[in-house]
A and B are shown apart, each in its own frame.
Chain A
Amino acid sequence: MAELRDLYQEVILEHSKAPRNYREPAGTNHKAEGYNPLCGDRFTVYLEMDGDSIRDIGFQGAGCAISKASASMMTQSVKGKTRAEAEKIFEQFHELVTGHSHEHEAELGKLAVFSGVSEFPVRVKCATLAWHTLEAALEGKQEKVSTE
């Protein structure tokens, strides 16, 4: 069951049980909703943008442990970052969870715990749902993002 522990690392389980920034920030000026019709995961990501910077970020919704922990840790990692920085982190994160590249693992810091996802291809969408939603919120898209 070694692979299972790779996926369900303690940090991931902990974040899924007690997600950080699980709220709508008072100064929210951008938001987007993400939905994975395959498993019913549904998240809203809220942004308080200050020019090009993410001054505050929160999320709410329901989903599996992987998607919830990913959303929680995403909010921590992009808070205070510029849009370009956040998008770069997503790019590196995406390469990590799809197994394309582990070269940015060190840069990703805590987010590297999601590297086990690459062994479970059907779960990649769970790990990236919140990120896709963040991207939509940054772009100011109003329509719902779907993983399908």
Chain B
Amino acid sequence: MTAAAAVPIRERAANKTFDVERIRQDFPILRTKVHGHPLVYLDNAATSQKPQTVIDALVRYYEGENANIHRGVHYLSELATAEFEKARETVRAFVNAARASEIVFTRGTTEAINLVAQTYGRVHVGAGDEVLITAMEHHSNIVPWQLLCEEKGAKLRVAPINDAGELLLEEFEKLLGPRTKVVAVAHVSNALGTINPLKQMIAMAHAHGVPVVVDGAQAAPHIAVDVQELDCDFYAFSGHKMYGPTGIGVLYGRHALLEAMPPYQGGGDMISSVTFEKTTYNKLPHKFEAGTPDMAGVAGLKAAIEYMNGIGIAKIAAHEHGLLEYATEVVGAIEGVRLIGTAREKASVLSFVLDEVHPHDIGTILDQQGIAVRTGHHCAQPVMERFSIPATVRASFAVYNMRAEVDALARGIRKVREVFA
């Protein structure tokens, strides 16, 4: 038997130039056995696994490059600074921002959204004003705005979704008005997988002079992001969901907006001069990067983007879309399964419930077969309420997942039905 023949025929047929078996070799954790079964990792929307190149980048950073950036005149500090700024350029190109100074490193999507709420938001949102979000937001794109609205006496408005989990675009447009000061919206819903019609939404918001903050946590790993084409004002995403390390994320902000915003946190690196009477803030993007940043994380994020670019975002998207379609078909065909989130435009996420069996019980039984899925409300309780369910089971796909794993999931769900028969 040749090596190629060991790969199931349909895996190869799915995408002739895409070798999932070879990609799987890049991820050491995929060799793990769970309860005696090969790990089937389908919890990628929570966090993705990391390729060896990302793990190596972290080790390389600490072994050969570690020094504090933007400070020392010594060799290592200069090296670390140069690598850090190179990574910023890699991120800039990844989202096609116009300038590297529009890329702010944060701890993750959550911090990036909080940054915008606490700086841009606090300046521009006042009593009686409105912040517009959608009914499919993750808690991290709800709570920062609620905090802001509470503080300012402003109102949080929520654009509704239909039974398929799609935004009602006309309702969204109707909610935009003279009181709307910020729109905050997910690019891709973490609980439903819906891809929002961002370009149209942003054009609508801009027609009312309202800037748009995009929660891109679930989009950046799966679809090409072009902030200039989208014409968004802010775009937030996390490294750990796109094969990078935990603890590092990105806020893209339009240069003119970032320039006019007050700083988020005070500290070292974000200043150009300090006296007890007056502090002059540093130029962009350093104004928003107080304190010693996660330099190793930034090196890892750069390696993750290079890894994705090496495969090609379009190929990653095509592979995952194929998996999602296949999973929708085989899981959807199981008796008693109801899919939650059946939007026409979806990425990576298959959320479902099973008659009479609570998602938590499904999660435990799948885990016993080595299958990792997420069960619960996915930090999107309003979405669960919209569908009148307490929780769902969520399988979410990444570049290294295979059709064989979708088959394992389907077998696992049948096993659940047997246990509960």
Interface residue ranges, A against B (CB under 8 Å): 1, 3-4, 7-8, 13, 17, 38-42, 62-66, 120, 122-123, 126
CB pair B390 A41 closer than 8 Å: yes
CB pair A65 B420 closer than 8 Å: yes
Q: Which of B383-421 contact A (CB under 8 A)?
A: 384, 390-391, 419-420
Hey, what's the 0/1 contact readout for B358-378 against A, CB within 8 Å counting as 1? 111100110010000001110
4 closest A-B pairs by CB: A40-B390, A64-B358, A64-B360, A39-B360
CB pair A42 B390 closer than 8 Å: yes
| In-complex Cβ contact of A13 among B360, B381, B384, B420 (8 A) | B420
Residues of B within 8 A of A65 (CB): 357-358, 361, 420
Q: Assess A64 versus B376: contact at CB under 8 Å? Given A1-B368, A3-B368, A40-B384.
A: no
CB pair A126 B360 closer than 8 Å: yes
For the complex, what is the distance from the CA of A69 to the CA of B160, rounded to whole Å?
36
For the complex, what is the distance from the CA of A138 to the CA of B175, rounded to whole Å?
47
CB pair A7 B364 closer than 8 Å: yes
For the complex, what is the distance from the CA of A7 to the CA of B375, rounded to whole Å?
18
Residues of B within 8 A of A62 (CB): 390
Known: A3-B35, A4-B368, A8-B361. 10 other contacts (CB 8 A): A3-B368, A4-B364, A4-B419, A8-B419, A40-B384, A41-B360, A64-B360, A66-B360, A123-B360, A126-B360
Total interface residues in chain B, CB < 8 Å = 19
Q: Assess A40 versus B377: contact at CB under 8 Å? Given A64-B361, A65-B357.
A: yes
Residues of A within 8 A of B360 (CB): 39, 41, 64, 66, 123, 126
Q: Which of B322-363 contact A (CB under 8 A)?
A: 356-361
| In-complex Cβ contact of B391 among A3, A17, A39 (8 A) | A39
For the complex, what is the distance from the CA of A132 to the CA of B158, rounded to whole Å?
35
Q: Is the interface of B mostly helix, strand, loop or mixed?
A: mixed
What residue of chain A has the Cβ atom nearest to residue B421's Cβ?
A13
Residues of B within 8 A of A63 (CB): 358, 390
CB pair A123 B376 closer than 8 Å: no
A139 shortest CB reach to chain B, Å: 26
For the complex, what is the distance from the CA of A147 to the CA of B279, rounded to whole Å?
46
For the complex, what is the distance from the CA of A38 to the CA of B364, rounded to whole Å?
14
| In-complex Cβ contact of B376 among A4, A8, A38 (8 A) | A38
Residues of A within 8 A of B419 (CB): 4, 8, 13
CB pair B390 A120 closer than 8 Å: no
Residues of B within 8 A of A3 (CB): 35, 368
A62 shortest CB reach to chain B, Å: 6
Hey, what's the 0/1 contact readout for B156-200 against A, CB within 8 Å counting as 1? 000000000000000000000000000000000000000000000
For the complex, what is the distance from the CA of A3 to the CA of B384, rounded to whole Å?
31
CB pair A66 B361 closer than 8 Å: yes
B376 shortest CB reach to chain A, Å: 5
B312 shortest CB reach to chain A, Å: 38
CB pair A123 B391 closer than 8 Å: no
For the complex, what is the distance from the CA of A63 to the CA of B361, rounded to whole Å?
10
For the complex, what is the distance from the CA of A65 to the CA of B361, rounded to whole Å?
7
For the complex, what is the distance from the CA of A7 to the CA of B359, rounded to whole Å?
15
Hey, what's the 0/1 contact readout for B282-319 against A, CB within 8 Å counting as 1? 00000000000000000000000000000000000000
A4 shortest CB reach to chain B, Å: 5
A128 shortest CB reach to chain B, Å: 14
List 19 A-B pairs, Cβ < 8 Å.
A3-B35, A4-B368, A8-B361, A8-B419, A8-B420, A13-B420, A39-B359, A39-B390, A40-B376, A40-B377, A40-B390, A41-B390, A64-B358, A64-B359, A64-B360, A65-B358, A65-B420, A66-B361, A123-B360
For the complex, what is the distance from the CA of A52 to the CA of B360, rounded to whole Å?
36
What residue of chain B has the Cβ atom nearest to residue A2's Cβ?
B368
For the complex, what is the distance from the CA of A42 to the CA of B411, rounded to whole Å?
30
What residue of chain B has the Cβ atom nearest to residue A126's Cβ?
B360
Greatest chain A CB density within 10 A among B364, B365, B384 is at: B364
Residues of A within 8 A of B368 (CB): 1, 3-4
CB pair A40 B361 closer than 8 Å: no
Residues of A within 8 A of B420 (CB): 8, 13, 65
| In-complex Cβ contact of A120 among B358, B364, B375, B384 (8 A) | B364
A71 shortest CB reach to chain B, Å: 13
What residue of chain B has the Cβ atom nearest to residue A120's Cβ?
B364
Greatest chain A CB density within 10 A among B361, B368, B390 is at: B361
Residues of A within 8 A of B361 (CB): 8, 64-66
B255 shortest CB reach to chain A, Å: 40
CB pair A39 B376 closer than 8 Å: yes
For the complex, what is the distance from the CA of A41 to the CA of B375, rounded to whole Å?
12
For the complex, what is the distance from the CA of A1 to the CA of B361, rounded to whole Å?
14
Residues of A within 8 A of B391 (CB): 39-40
